[in-house]
A = this chain, B = another copy of it.
Amino acid sequence: MSRLERLIPALSWLKVYTRSDMQTDMMASLIVTIMLIPQSLAYAMLAGLPPAVGLYASILPLIAYALFGSSRTLAVGPVAVVSMMTGTVALGFAAPGSAEYLAVVILLATISGLFLIALGLFKLGFLANLLSHPVISGFISASAILIALGQIKHILGISASGHNLLEMVESLYAQLPNLNWATVILGLISIAAIHLLRKYLNPLLQALGLSKHQAQLASKAGPVLVVICTTLVVMLFSLDQIGVKIVGAVPSGLPPIALPPIDLQLARELLPAAMLISIVGFVESVSVAQSFAAKRRQSIDPNQELVGLGAANLSSAISGGFPVTGGFSRSVVSFDAGARTPMTGVFTALLILVTLSFLTGAFYFLPKAVLAATIIVAVVQLIDFKGFLNVWRYSKQDAYALIATFFMVLLVGVEAGIITGVGLSLLLFLWHASHPHIAVVGRVPGTEHFRNVQRFQVETKPSVITVRIDESLFFANARVLEDRITHLVASHTGIEHVVLMCTAVNMIDASALESLEMINDRLKSAGIKLHLTEVKGPVMDKLKGTELFSHLTGKIYLTQNQAYEALCPERTAEA
């Protein structure tokens, strides 16, 4: 694979792109588009932007990702959580609807595009690992609640605002008297309809004779049905006259292509938020891409994904759009619709372009309450209580990180929540690593296998103590190791040899090396020899040439058993 192909994965699959590929991809793109249009409009609204912007963000980004992305199935565009984050950030800098607001959003997309590309080129994708699954889960659940709450105002036909749970509830409560009954009814009916269609359309269609697969695909169009019907209702009974808010005129024509204006001062202030949005979007997207790649025995390159998403965001900024990333639901649809290559994305982009050029009039009477309904039904699925229970059952520590993130996001804000979660999981891991499990082991009779003397019936030798430390040796536990060994030696009499079984030692950093040298010296002064066994290749390579290696009082054995046989062969006691 040439360097160019590595930079532009499209080149490799375009070479083998066939006519039949094109047909299936086109078919899939049609279905994706039908689903993507209402989503784009809704998520633009969620980000506090005019609906057209949602469509702008669904054209160039799809093409850019098709060129630079490494996933064959991922469908990019506006997604709920990222749109919500974008809205929250922009609100802090300008009033929704104002030109400044749009400028802030475009700058956000620009920065996160550049940031993602930089991460990718410097191979810093691993930084995304800072977000542990529990933190993400807590973050997503809380965001879903915030998003749903934020949409209720559209269902009630009132105007409310707020960055966190309390503010939102407060402002909703304050505005409650002004609610518009026509909107409420329309909204509730839409929610019910979308929910029921999601549940029963598929079996219904199958009963009507569609194949399982066709039915499954068609049922995805449920929300679109509701959108069309309600739009017609509003138009026919001109409900907009009685206070039902509608999308209104959507400027038709191509998105305004322009180099985004860079306000460095503003950029500096937006940087942290933009970085957070990028990381969150990347993590969400990469996990989606990974699971689809696995299904088709393909694989994705996280760092290339960063470049792909970065390119998508940059091109979104250039075309007056807002931050985008890979979405789960639309990827599922495109996958089920049989999309074979990223060309599906290109075709989808073209279809959106057509819509934007000729069909924007159709959205005029589309009621905002219905868009809100689609969002609410979509995000409510994201609240993952079962996942929390699993984590809680498995590991209290992880559960605490999840809970902390959840409530911080809900009560303080997205950034505070994620920072808390990341900090907490780092601290918890560090706590874990600095309280390593250290087992005194003996040989399982009749085998060459050594296990914990407290858990297994094993044989040991009185003058030999074998210690298995179940942790890499690095700064977080270097001192702890010194402590434990001193304790062990002090608490066992007649020790002549201390054997450090390194099966679990995957790394020895400079701090731990110093500690091992100290341990070696101290044992030496007590007339005790220190031996190492089962040192891993990579660790051994580094140890060679160190003072420890040359000053070690004992030997380094390939296997624990060889050491056990070699040391004081005569004496053996049943433990």
Contacts and interface: CB of A to CB of B under 8 A. Distances in A.
B506 A436 contact: yes
A299 B491 CA distance: 11
Contact of A130 (B391, B430, B522): B430
A397 B475 CA distance: 13
A511 interface: yes
A293 interface: yes
A65 interface: no
A31 to B, nearest CB: 24
A426 interface: yes
A504 interface: yes
A287 B302 CA distance: 41
Interface in A514-548: 514, 518, 522, 525-526, 536-538, 542, 545-547
A487 to B, nearest CB: 6
A479 B436 CA distance: 23
A167 interface: no
A337 to B, nearest CB: 20
A291 interface: yes
Interface string A102-134: 000000000000000000000000101111111
Interface residues of A, number: 84
B526 A290 contact: no
Given A394-B510, A449-B559, A559-B447, A490 B538 contact: no
A293 B437 contact: no
A474 interface: yes
A492 interface: no
A132 B475 contact: yes
Contact of A299 (B471, B483, B510): B483
A437 B129 contact: no
Interface string A443-459: 00001110110010000
Contacts of A432: 507
A37 B394 CA distance: 57
24 contacts: A126-B431, A126-B480, A132-B475, A132-B478, A133-B475, A134-B511, A295-B525, A297-B490, A299-B487, A390-B546, A390-B547, A393-B545, A398-B510, A398-B511, A399-B510, A437-B536, A447-B448, A448-B448, A448-B449, A449-B561, A470-B506, A470-B536, A503-B504, A504-B506
Q: Report the 10 A-B pairs with minimum CB-CB distance, sorted nearest first.
A: A132-B475, A398-B510, A133-B511, A126-B434, A470-B506, A503-B503, A294-B522, A132-B511, A391-B510, A129-B476
Given A297-B486, A393-B545, 17 more contacts: A126-B434, A126-B435, A129-B477, A130-B475, A133-B475, A133-B510, A299-B487, A398-B509, A399-B510, A426-B426, A429-B474, A429-B475, A429-B509, A436-B506, A470-B506, A470-B538, A504-B504
Interface of A: 126, 128-135, 286-287, 290-291, 293-295, 297, 299, 302, 390-391, 393-395, 397-399, 425-426, 429-432, 434-437, 439, 447-449, 451-452, 455, 470-472, 474-480, 482-483, 486-487, 489-490, 503-507, 509-511, 513-514, 518, 522, 525-526, 536-538, 542, 545-547, 558-559, 561
